[in-house]
Amino acid sequence: MFHKILIANRGEIACRVIGTARAMGVRTVAVYSDADVSARHVAMADEAVHIGGPRPVDSYLRGAAIIAAAQATGAEAIHPGYGFLSENPDFVEAVEAAGLVFIGPSAAAIRAMGLKDAAKALMAQAGVPVVPGYHGADQDPAHLAQAAAAIGYPILIKAVAGGGGKGMRRVDDPAEFATALDSAKAEAAGAFGNDAVLIEKYVETPRHIEVQVFGDGRRAVHLFERDCSLQRRHQKVIEEAPAPGMTDEMRAAMGQAAVRAAEAIGYAGAGTVEFIVDASRGLRPDGFWFMEMNTRLQVEHPVTEAITGIDLVAWQLRVASGEDLPCAQEDLAITGHAFEARLYAEDVAAGFLPATGRLVHLRFPQYARADTGVRAGDEISPWYDPMIAKIIVHGPTRAVALRKLADALDQTQVAGSVTNLSFLRRLAAHPRFAAGDMDTGLIARDQEMLAQADAPSSHHYALAAVAALGLDGAAGPLAGFTLWAPLQRQVVLRYAGEVITAVVTRDPAGPWQVALDQTAHAVARDGNGWCIDGAKVLAEVVVTGGAAHVFWADAQSFEIVDPLAVAGQVSDGAGQVGAPMPGLVKAVFVAKGDHVTAGDRLAVMEAMKMEHALRAPRDGIVAEVLVDVGVQVAAGAPLIILAEHDA
Ligand code: ADP
């Protein structure tokens, strides 16, 4: 076994690999960019080497710098994680030429599967069913149109070098073929520098079912299937293992096809053979076709680990260090059912737009596996994939595991960025998903229902008000109400631009009475939770950085506009007005030379989906406006400088 390995990656996958290496007594070296100086994977590793700027091309894609880091630290092998250099055969060759071990397949195996057309031809030769279609070299538009007609509509145009759903177009009508072909080719040329396409039959009611394989370069085994049919824009959201409705017969057929695929290319390490399945008539052994092989560890590998009890990274290290396959096919079995949900910093309603932000509060469920690359206080930066964590649950049956998933999502708390958590909660409760009756179009069909997030209820406001005033018991039962202070206090909360004033009155014997604009509630602490109007509520409230976050049902965040608490902006004596949190500058109302009075609106920022007015801390003259509308700024960034009147 290796003494020391280097992980050529970041985020949750780097942390996950380091965890297993540590459990095996293997020392670890992390690499990091300028944006990741204090990242979790750097903190977890035994050593860390800086490899460049925040852009991936300046750091995590710099193969030579990574190899030099391994040599300088005495690492014997490199684990590539997924993404970045993990499927780059030139990198594999460079690693080997430097006398190091690449923890993964050979460069030749990666090349064989690198282009979808060549991979399909190879698989057809090995007797693996492939999606009917044309994957030849003739790229003449007339020839491709003819091929599409011969296959029969609907068809799918796919970039041979494709990935992430790019360069892919579904065509239902022959009259639209030419336009779709042009746009697919243009997208493929831009994304992959290769505009070649293939034509495939579009499988109706498609399910994405993939098989985990593992090889030692000679033999391969499969570790059963994962169902990844819950997708948005051809990207996976929730994965599970095994696939609902899978029969022993079809599992055996798919498993054998996947093993044939792996053995045909002398595969070493963990890989995934992806199939598209026609679910219109149930799962049948003649209803699956090879799509592509991913020659690396997949994001969703933990569901396979959960049902097999095998640590796939441990197997990767053992096989890469020269051991044979750790077990035979007969030794592998499925126990129970597992789900994984991908928690992202993203704005679902805006079309799953990636988001950024400092995670001012972060808590993962107690009874679930959470693979993450961030801690509370860390930043989701614009440079990399905005995944916050993967939440993985396992149960004896699918129904129990799904209940555990819903519960784990309810217990997950994130503040500081918009996330897809409400979306995941709705998805986990979707009746067709619960019935195991899904296809890759489920999310798109019910997008509107899944993307909506509930507005805060008066209960959310009441809890936020009590916590914002520091009355949530953290500092003792009567904190905030002293003998000489008034028995009534008020706090102004802002949500989506709307302002509500809450008046909280002390009742010496009982709960706080919280009067809102339209209604009133009696609020008290009850153990670790709360009691509202006499009923127990399993809510938690966290106050950070001028906001109150209520974690209950769909979590809600309120800006606290109480002048006694947080003024809602950062300013210093010299008259510098800064950004109170990372966000977007939406409007600037002043220009250099303007006279302003204390309290005047100077600018508006948008953060956490809320508009936030920045006001003049005192009278003065605008000496400098340092930002423009539309600019994304970091917390504390100076925005406007005020000079004294007579300056
Ligand atoms: P990429 O490499 O760009 O991710 P894939 O070939 O893996 O592309 O396909 C991505 C997704 O597109 C699949 O998971 C599936 O949802 C859908 N898809 C691909 N091929 C077909 C097909 N022939 N019929 C129906 N859906 C398909």
What is the per-residue pLDDT across 177-194, written as a single tens digit (0 to 9) for each? Answer: 999 999 999 999 988 889
What pLDDT, in 10s, does the model give residues 1-27? 999 999 999 999 999 999 999 999 999
Measured from the CB, is residue 274 less than 6 Å from ligand 1? yes
- CA 200 to ligand 1 centroid distance, Å: 10
Measured from the CB, is residue 131 less than 6 Å from ligand 1? yes
Ligand 1 atom closest to residue 440's alpha carbon, by position in its atom list: 16
**Which residue has its alpha carbon closest to ligand 1 atom 9?**
165
| CA atoms of 430 and 416, how far apart (whole Å) | 27
Rounded to 10°, the helix 312-320/11-23 angle is: 70
Which of 131, 168, 238, 288 should be mutated for ligand 1, with most atoms under 8 A from CB?
168
Ligand 1 atom closest to residue 166's alpha carbon, by position in its atom list: 3
Q: Are 497 and 587 in contact (CB under 8 A)?
A: no
Q: Which of 271-280, 495-504, 518-527 has the highest mean pLDDT?
A: 271-280
Q: Are 291 and 275 in contact (CB under 8 A)?
A: yes
In this model, does residue 565 exceed pLDDT 60? no
- CA 158 to ligand 1 centroid distance, Å: 8
| CA atoms of 362 and 374, how far apart (whole Å) | 9
- CA 234 to ligand 1 centroid distance, Å: 7
Mean per-residue pLDDT of the chain: 91
Among this protein's residues, is 296 annotated catalytic? Answer: yes
- CA 209 to ligand 1 centroid distance, Å: 11
Q: Which of 131-140, 160-169, 309-318 has the lowest mean pLDDT?
A: 160-169
What is the torsion angle, in degrees rounded to the nearest 10, for the CA atoms of residue 123, residue 126, residue 129 and residue 135?
Answer: 40
DSSP 465-526: HHHHTT-SSTT-TTTT--TTS-SEEEEEEEETTEEEEEEEE--TTSPEEEE-SS-EEEEEEE
Please pick, among 296, 342, 494, 506, the residue that the annotation labels catalytic.
Answer: 296
Ligand 1 atom closest to residue 208's alpha carbon, by position in its atom list: 14
- Cβ–Cβ contacts within 10 Å for residue 166, how many? 16
- CA 568 to ligand 1 centroid distance, Å: 47
Looking at residue 600, its pLDDT comes to 86
- CA 618 to ligand 1 centroid distance, Å: 59
Long-range contacts of 510-518 (CB under 8 A, 24+ apart): 512/466, 512/471, 514/461, 514/462, 514/465, 514/466, 516/458, 516/461, 516/462, 516/465, 518/458
| CA atoms of 380 and 39, how far apart (whole Å) | 10
Ligand 1 atom closest to residue 228's alpha carbon, by position in its atom list: 14
Measured from the CB, is residue 74 less than 6 Å from ligand 1? no
Phi and psi dihedrals of 87, rounded to 5?
Answer: -120, 35
In this model, does residue 563 exceed pLDDT 60? no
Measured from the CB, is residue 163 less than 6 Å from ligand 1? yes
Which sign, positive or negative, has the C-alpha torsion 379, 385, 386, 392?
negative
DSSP 608-640: TTEEEEEE-SSSEEEEEE---TT-EE-TT-EEE
Mean per-residue pLDDT for 122-149?
94
Q: Identify the band that residue 569 occupies on the pLDDT scale cut at 50, 70 and 90.
A: very low
Measured from the CB, is residue 154 less than 6 Å from ligand 1? no
Q: Are 564 and 624 in contact (CB under 8 A)?
A: no
| CA atoms of 148 and 181, how far apart (whole Å) | 11
In this model, does residue 474 exceed pLDDT 60? no
